[in-house]
């Protein structure tokens, strides 16, 4: 349980809020690289940490990320002309480069001194792993660019997609650090006792803090020993989990490392960046394998409202829940693993009221994550260095899962599994 005040502190992300200030110390995903497919192409709208921005790929293939409104009379730059290394407002023709400098002010007399004074808010950007990243914090504190294993994996072994969620980021992140619910919400075959997560539905959870956040180990009893899953929480909002073996205990083809980053659009909306990475060089992520997996998660090609990152199965239609299916086939009556998550997370309301919850031992990882965030807010307010700013802290981090012999020490058995290869 959190107090009402604590809940405010860990959920509000706007400029000037405690969490907003903490989050602005990190690089954040802005959009997929493929949303800006061409030089001098159409700008896109971006809303990130409750700020309205516009992103565009300029003539030099660099990404500009700037205020959505022209500083002159607040006309929308979304309608701007992206040309010759800058974006030009279509109201009075003022033009700005990706650093926010005004490079043309044709509506003023030649030689005007105004041009040197007008600045457009602009944030530094980077492209890594098929994602455009931005840093929105104080200039002097800007850390090195993000360097997670999956951002280094070759394109043949990596895939990133994006989905829009209608609620605060934290209740979504919590779902991502909660292996326990997969025995229920993601039970897609009622009565299947062979399923590893059905065999033991109350996993033992151990959380260990690290300098990037924590890892947590869940252990479930299995016929062949112990089913061990090691998850990582990489601050501030990334989960890494493994899908080396499937629900049936057989090695997945291809084996995968999966993950999400929950990126606050604002206090009540979130973009999820869904990451897939093949951990072994011999396993490629073919387009077919990717589509099969995305479809199972509920975000295959046909699952989106065209032209958006929104699911067709959404809050407005109760996710097309099928009560007959719920009685006979799966636990929720909802199709798509992450669609099941959305139903639960969005259904908590725009911002979950954590002053009314009642936690158990299966929620250890969630409690641990909240504690880290609250601590980091305090550290940041004191001028200290929060975890996971330096890429050195997380560069080697990898998740894994395995069934190990009963009584074996997972630390020893899985030591090599947990080190990045890419």
Contacting residues toward other proteins, per CB under 8 A: 171, 174, 180-181, 183-185, 201-202, 318-319, 321, 323, 326-327, 331-334, 340, 343-345, 347-349, 352-354, 356-363, 366
Q: Tell me whether residue 319 or residue 410 sits nearer to other proteins (CB atom).
A: 319
- Residue 344 beta carbon to other proteins: minimum distance, rounded to whole angstroms: 4
Q: Nearest distance from residue 187's CB to other proteins, in Å?
A: 9
* Cα–Cα distance for residue pair 368/375, rounded to 1 Å: 10
β-bridge partners, 239: 233, 260
Give the residue from 48, 385, 367 showing the smallest Cα distance to 214: 367
> Based on CB atoms, which residue is closest to other proteins, 8 or 33?
8
β partners of residue 257: 242, 277
CA atoms within 13 A on the CB side of 250: 4
User: What are 207's strand-pairing partners?
Assistant: 216
Q: Which is nearer to other proteins, 61 or 317 (CB)?
A: 317
Containing 227, the helix (H) or strand (E) segment is strand 225-234
Q: Which is nearer to other proteins, 145 or 206 (CB)?
A: 206
State the minimum distance, in angstroms, from the CB of residue 357 to other proteins.
Answer: 5
Distance CA(20)–CA(26), nearest Å, equals 11
CA atoms of 380 and 21, how far apart (whole Å): 8
Provide φ and ψ at 220, rounded to 5°. Answer: -120, 140
**How big is the CA angle at 17 (ends 122 and 137), to the nearest 5 degrees?**
30
The CB-of-188 to other proteins minimum distance in angstroms stands at 12
Minimum Å gap between C-beta 180 and other proteins is 5
CB of 68 to other proteins, least distance (A): 30
CB of 17 to other proteins, least distance (A): 22
Question: Which pair of tokens denotes residue 406?
Answer: 């009963």
Is 217 exposed, middle or buried (CB count within 10 Å of its CB: 0-12, 13-18, 19+)? buried
C-beta closer to other proteins: residue 167 or 285: 167
For residue 331, the minimal CB distance to other proteins (Å) is 5
Cβ atoms of residues 278 and 150 within 8 Å: no
Nearest CB to other proteins, comparing residues 32 and 367: 367
Task: Please state the length of the chain.
Answer: 422
Whole-number Å distance between alpha carbons of 279 and 213 = 22
Question: In this complex, which beta carbon is closest to other proteins, that of residue 101 or of residue 363?
Answer: 363
Q: How far, rounded to the nearest angstrom, does the alpha carbon of residue 350 sit from its chain's CA centroid?
A: 18
Q: Is 276 helix (H, G, I), strand (E, B) or coil?
A: strand
Nearest to other proteins of 16, 360 (CB atom): 360
């Amino acid at each position: 349980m959190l107090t009402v005040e604590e809940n405010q502190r860990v959920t509000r992300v706007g400029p000037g809020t405690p969490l907003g200030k903490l989050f602005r110390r990190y690089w954040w995903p802005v959009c997929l690289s493929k949303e800006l497919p061409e030089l001098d192409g159409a700008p896109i709208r971006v809303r990130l940490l409750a700020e309205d921005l516009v992103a565009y790929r300029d003539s030099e293939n660099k990404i500009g990320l700037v205020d959505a409104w022209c500083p002159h009379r607040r006309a929308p730059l979304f309608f701007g002309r992206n040309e010759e290394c800058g974006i030009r407002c279509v109201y009075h023709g003022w033009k700005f480069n990706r650093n926010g400098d005004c490079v043309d002010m044709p509506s003023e007399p030649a030689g005007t001194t105004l041009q040197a004074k007008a600045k457009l808010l602009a944030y530094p950007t980077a492209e890594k792993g098929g994602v455009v990243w931005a840093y929105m914090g104080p200039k002097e504190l800007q850390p090195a660019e993000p360097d997670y294993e999956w951002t280094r994996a070759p394109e043949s072994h990596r895939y990133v997609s994006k989905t829009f969620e209608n609620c605060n980021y934290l209740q979504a992140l919590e779902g991502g650090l909660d292996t326990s619910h997969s025995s229920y919400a993601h039970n897609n075959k009622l009565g299947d006792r062979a399923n590893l997560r059905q065999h033991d539905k109350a996993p033992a959870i151990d959380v260990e803090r690290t300098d990037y956040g924590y890892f947590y180990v869940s252990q479930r009893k299995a016929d062949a020993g112990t089913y061990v899953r090691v998850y990582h929480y990489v601050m501030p909002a990334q989960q890494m989990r493994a899908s080396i073996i499937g629900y049936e205990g057989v090695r997945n083809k291809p084996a995968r490392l999966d993950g999400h980053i929950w990126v606050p659009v604002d206090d009540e909306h979130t973009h999820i960046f869904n990451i897939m990475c093949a951990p072994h060089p011999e396993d490629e992520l073919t387009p077919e394998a990717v589509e099969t997996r995305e479809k199972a998660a509920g975000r295959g090609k046909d699952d989106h409202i065209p032209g958006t990152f929104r699911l067709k199965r959404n809050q407005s239609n109760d996710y097309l829940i099928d009560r007959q299916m719920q009685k006979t086939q799966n636990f929720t009556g909802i199709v798509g693993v992450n669609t099941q998550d959305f139903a639960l997370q969005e259904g908590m309301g725009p911002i979950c009221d954590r002053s009314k919850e009642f936690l158990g031992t299966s929620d250890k990882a969630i409690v641990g994550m909240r504690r880290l965030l609250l601590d980091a807010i305090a550290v940041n307010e004191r001028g200290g260095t929060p975890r996971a700013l330096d890429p050195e802290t997380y560069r080697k981090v990898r998740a894994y899962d395995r069934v190990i012999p009963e009584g074996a020490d997972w630390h020893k058995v899985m030591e090599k599994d947990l080190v990045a290869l890419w």
